[in-house]
Amino acid sequence: MTPLLAVEKLKISFPKGAGLSVPVDGVSFAIDRGERVALVGESGSGKSLTSLALLRLVPEPGQIAAESTILLDGVDIMGLKGESLRAIRGGRIGLVFQDPMTSLNPVLTVGYQVKEAVTAHRKLSAKEAKERTVALLDEVGIPDPVARYGAYPHELSGGLRQRVMIAIALAGEPDLLVADEPTTALDVTVQAQILELLDGLRTKRNMALLLITHDLGVVAERTDRVMVMYAGQLVETAPTAALFAAPGHPYTQALLRSMPRLTGPVGRLPQIPGAVPQPYAWPAGCRFNPRCGLRIEACTSQVPPWRAAGPNHEAKCWVVEGRAP
Amino acid sequence: MAAWLVRRLLQAVVTFLAVAALLFVLMRAAPGNPLSRLTDDRPMTPAEQQRLQALFGLDQPVSTQFTRFAAAAATGDFGVSIEYYPVRVNTLIRSRLPASLLLGGTVLLVNLGLGIWLGVLQARRRGSSIDRWLTRLSLAGYAMPSFWLALILVSVFAIEWRLLPAAQMRDPLLGAEAGWVARTLDLLAHLVLPVVTLSVVTIAATMRYQRTAMLEVLRLDYILAARARGLEESAVVWRHAWRNALFPVLTLVGLMLPMLVSGSVFVESVFAWPGLGSLAAGAIAARDYPVLMATALLVSGAVLVSGVLTDIGYHVLDPRTRS
Amino acid sequence: MTGSLAATLRTAWRNPSGRTGAFLMIGLLTLAVVGPWLLPDPTAIPDLGAGATPPSTGHLFGTDHLNRDLLARVATGARISLTIGALSVALSLTVGTLIGLWAGSAGGWLDSGLMRLVDAALAIPRLFVLLLLLVVWDHVPLPALIAVIGLTGWFGTSRMVRGEAIRLRTAGYIQAAVALGAAPKRTIFRHLLPNVFGVILVSATLGIGEVILLEAGLSFLGVGLQPPTPSWGIMVLDSRNYFSTAPWTLLFPGAMILVTVLAVNLMSDALRAAFDPRSA
């Protein structure tokens, strides 16, 4: 069976002086219908650009390489343009942005912005469109949706605005919802509610969910599978439980160590030494090698292969302990 | 909102008073005698000169002159014209105002309509050859002396090709029996060259402002978000981006008014357009001080009013400032 | 900032429009400096009866209605225009910077009073200010004209400099320096210039274009410089009655204004883009 989404060799480059900057460099993954997948990485790892590439919205002057393919139900959206591309954006793939403060147009009412997302993908009468919009606002848990229809973004709280953004992403009844750090800009108390809402909506509408985050804590309870991204490439992919139980890649291990825990001794969290390298000067060999405590000779010169670390669990590392499947 | 409006209006009134004071200082600071054109032509007895001075109030002490001028500015009565003596300045201005409003209004419409459209086009095609050439062309227009362009247009379109009238606002040979269609067409034909001239020399500013403002908005998150929800490109550009990029262009209208007025002095005098600009240009040769003062004050008042209107426009268009 | 100034100028130079403007300006400056030496006397009337003659090898731009050599007149006009442009803009910028700094660092009623006056001055179109000053003035000497034009062009600069001065006065590092005993005005001044240099440079180039157009316009209206001075505006005015029979008498002086103003505006545009790459 073909997966809902299959990304192959996704490579995004920007001109940088005389050379190139390649923030996403050869990313391949697939998502099945109804699956909940997390894409985890530090800022600068290329995960947000990856999500924008799914809608062909890489900002100028960035370019997706010609060899990249993005298959949605077997159709390569790299070949689409005009109306058929528009039908994907919001229609097949809905996108929830990181910051609801800046992603809503300040001079248009929130009702209007949801309604235009509804009518962008199907012909409806004015009355039907408004009813549908109010229903959506209600579905994402906005109290008193009829009154809020005419509100401007600045009149709503951050949490409510993010609910509006989710309503917009749902308006085209997408098969895949991509949420890019949907709670980073919000208060801690609101974060859980928004994640709860996304989870509930996904189940109800049987959508696939691609949750992009830098926070492994968010991932643990709400996803089936995790992909770890580092320096423009995927370095590990595993079922969520397996990843937390036995992380394969030294980077993933370091990420987990730097996560605060409720149990265990209180003390300073270990940090990963060094910084994410720059996309115009990726290290040779394994890109994590300058920061890696387990580095061996091969890491500095040769690109590591994908190695099995368990059932459906692979890591791109020379030193990962291969467990028999 | 109401308190804000009152404060803004008060500020405009204070500024207007300062304008009047400045104009008066300018008039007093200028070396020379406004009546010299009248007295140069023929020898005058001291008694005659004194009578003339008294007629225009120049025999009074400066303080009295200022009081009179302030009163004139407040009541809008600027006395008698020197050139068209004994016609009152107000009568002159009233008879010339409609033609100027017609010309200025048409130019403003053309300028904003075309300038906004071209500026948005440039921003959408940033860095393309069409963007570069539009910038160069608009800069060339901006660098063009309006009186020179006007004379060239007259010599080509009116004298050489006889396509359009060279001067005035109406064809004097068009009799009273002509219908309104013929009259309107005649008026439009007379409008073409002055409007083209003034639009060419002023449109660069509108294009520049619109392009810059549009570029600022097009890189914002909510534009990306609008594209991500599958809107048509025209909706993204005009409804989402342009509505936010309109604010800076609004301020430009206030800034453009002085430019437009100064341009009309030249253009109206070349085309003998019966407006305030040609009145002011004519007043120069005759040293018709009262007329120049009155036009300057009127124009400055209009600039201040348009500033207030712009601010109100901001408040109406931007919901964030409304509450 | 001073360190990157050379880099900014290099960026502006790499801009094709900016380079075109610079080349045009070099040509115009050459014409203005060297032209009047090599060319005939611009006021000489060799053969009044011959009138306006079209461009020929003897007179590259032809002659005007009084048979005066048009190229010589245009070259002297370039000298006049560029002198007025450069000197009056220098005057405007100096006055504007000083007053802006004064208002911004003094604050209080002095500041608000000055700025109200600047608001008022900006509301009167500059052309009208100049008309009122010059209209009753017979035979305005060139230095006086430069002074008058320069003194009516500083309002915008002063407001901008004042804004920057206020921003600096409240900036933490200036307050720290003052707390440590530095003289407030000197400190602000030292930090101010590098901060506003870019904007001032851009507005200076734009201002030169504006002033050249303004002077030409005043001359065309019969105010300011008077015939037989070969100001470009006067030359356009002179051609008024002859342009259908002798179009070159209209074309050349006006084209000179256009090319000169375009040259400074292209340079200004390239500088602006170099100082603020996001707007390019």
- Tens digit of each residue's pLDDT (9 = 90 or more) over C72-81: 899 999 999 9
Q: How many CB pairs under 8 A join B and C?
A: 163
pLDDT of A324 strictly over 50 = no
Q: What is the pTM of this model?
A: 0.87
pLDDT digits (tens, 9 = 90+) for B218-248: 999 999 999 999 999 999 999 999 998 988 8
Cα(A139)–Cα(A136) distance, rounded to whole angstroms?
5
pLDDT, position B239: 94
pLDDT of C176 strictly over 70 = yes
Cα(A80)–Cα(A101) distance, rounded to whole angstroms?
31
pLDDT digits (tens, 9 = 90+) for A28-52: 999 999 999 999 988 888 999 999 9
The neighbouring-strand residues paired with A234 are A229
Query: Would you call A52 an interface residue with chain B, using a CB distance cutoff of 8 Å?
Result: yes
pLDDT, position C257: 96
Task: Give the DSSP letter of residue A233.
Answer: E
Q: Lowest-confidence range among A167-176, A273-282, B167-176, C21-30?
A: B167-176
> Is residue C138 very low, low, confident or very high in pLDDT (cuts 50, 70, 90)?
confident
CA C64 from chain center: how many Å? 27
- Mean pLDDT, rounded, for B175-203: 90
In a 10 Å sphere around its CB, with 0-12 CB exposed, 13-18 middle and 19+ buried, how is residue B302 labelled?
middle
pLDDT, position B214: 94
pLDDT, position C168: 78
Rounded (10°) angle between helices C248-275 and C2-14: 130
Higher-scoring residue by pLDDT: A239, C4:
A239
pLDDT of A1 strictly over 80 = no
3-state class percentages of chain C: helix first, strand second, coil last, to nearest 5 = 75, 0, 25
Cα(C31)–Cα(A31) distance, rounded to whole angstroms?
72
Report the b/e string of A226-250 with b at 16+ CB within 10 A: bbbbbbbbbbbbbbbebbbeebbbb
**How far C179 CA sits from the closest chain B CA (Å)?**
36
Q: Lowest-confidence range among A7-21, A270-284, C191-205?
A: C191-205
Instruction: Tell me if B210 sits within 8 A of B123, measured CB to CB.
Output: yes
Instruction: Tell me if C259 sits within 8 A of C82, measured CB to CB.
Output: no
Query: Would you call B227 an interface residue with chain A, using a CB distance cutoff of 8 Å?
Result: yes
pLDDT, position B117: 96
Average pLDDT, chain A: 89
Q: Token pair for residue C263?
A: 């040259």
Phi/psi for C41 (5° steps) reads -60, 120
pLDDT of A111 strictly over 70 = yes
Q: Lowest-confidence range among A32-41, A167-176, B117-126, B248-257?
A: B248-257
- Mean pLDDT, rounded, for A5-32: 92
**Share above pLDDT 90 across residues of chain B, in percent, rounded to a whole number:** 43
Instruction: Tell me if C218 sits within 8 A of B265, measured CB to CB.
Output: no
Angstrom CA distances, B313 to B11, B109, B110, B309, B310, stand at 17, 17, 20, 6, 5
Cα(A88)–Cα(C253) distance, rounded to whole angstroms?
60
> Is residue A269 very low, low, confident or very high in pLDDT (cuts 50, 70, 90)?
low
Instruction: Tell me if A238 sits within 8 A of A312, measured CB to CB.
Output: yes
pLDDT of A231 strictly over 80 = yes
Q: Lowest-confidence range among A260-274, B228-242, C22-36, C115-129?
A: A260-274
Interface present between A and C (3 or more CB pairs within 8 Å) = no
pLDDT, position C279: 64
pLDDT of C199 strictly over 60 = yes
> Is residue B53 very low, low, confident or very high in pLDDT (cuts 50, 70, 90)?
confident
Average pLDDT, chain C: 86
Rounded (10°) angle between helices A126-139 and A110-119: 110
pLDDT, position C153: 92
> Is residue A321 very low, low, confident or very high in pLDDT (cuts 50, 70, 90)?
low
Per DSSP, the three-state class of A213 is strand
Instruction: Tell me if A234 sits within 8 A of A201, measured CB to CB.
Output: no
Residues within 8 A of C (CB atoms), B 131-160 only: 132, 135-136, 139-140, 142-149, 151-152, 155, 159-160
Average pLDDT, chain B: 86
Q: Token pair for residue B109?
A: 């419409």
> Is residue B40 very low, low, confident or very high in pLDDT (cuts 50, 70, 90)?
low
> Is residue B41 very low, low, confident or very high in pLDDT (cuts 50, 70, 90)?
low
Cα(B257)–Cα(B259) distance, rounded to whole angstroms?
5
pLDDT, position A325: 40
> Is residue A264 very low, low, confident or very high in pLDDT (cuts 50, 70, 90)?
low
Q: Which of B262, B279, B289, B303 to mutate to test the interface with C (most CBs of C within 10 A)?
A: B262
Angstrom CA distances, A173 to A80, A94, A121, A136, C135, stand at 20, 8, 9, 11, 73
> Is residue A216 very low, low, confident or very high in pLDDT (cuts 50, 70, 90)?
confident
The neighbouring-strand residues paired with B192 are none
**Share above pLDDT 90 across residues of chain C, in percent, rounded to a whole number:** 34
> Is residue B36 very low, low, confident or very high in pLDDT (cuts 50, 70, 90)?
low
Cα(A282)–Cα(C66) distance, rounded to whole angstroms?
75
Instruction: Tell me if B284 sits within 8 A of C222, measured CB to CB.
Output: yes
Angstrom CA distances, A122 to A90, A125, A174, B257, stand at 11, 10, 13, 46
Q: Lowest-confidence range among A269-278, B11-20, B222-231, C133-142?
A: A269-278
pLDDT, position C1: 43
pLDDT of A323 strictly over 60 = no
- Mean pLDDT, rounded, for C8-22: 87
pLDDT of C13 strictly over 60 = yes
By Cβ distance, the residue of B224, B225, B244 closest to A107 is B244
Q: Where does A225-296 show beta strands of DSSP type E?
A: 225-230, 233-239
Query: Would you call A55 an interface residue with chain B, using a CB distance cutoff of 8 Å?
Result: yes
Interface present between C and B (3 or more CB pairs within 8 Å) = yes
Query: Would you call A54 an interface residue with chain B, using a CB distance cutoff of 8 Å?
Result: no
Contacts of B293 in chain C (CB under 8 A): 132
**How far B318 CA sits from the closest chain A CA (Å)?**
6
pLDDT, position A89: 94
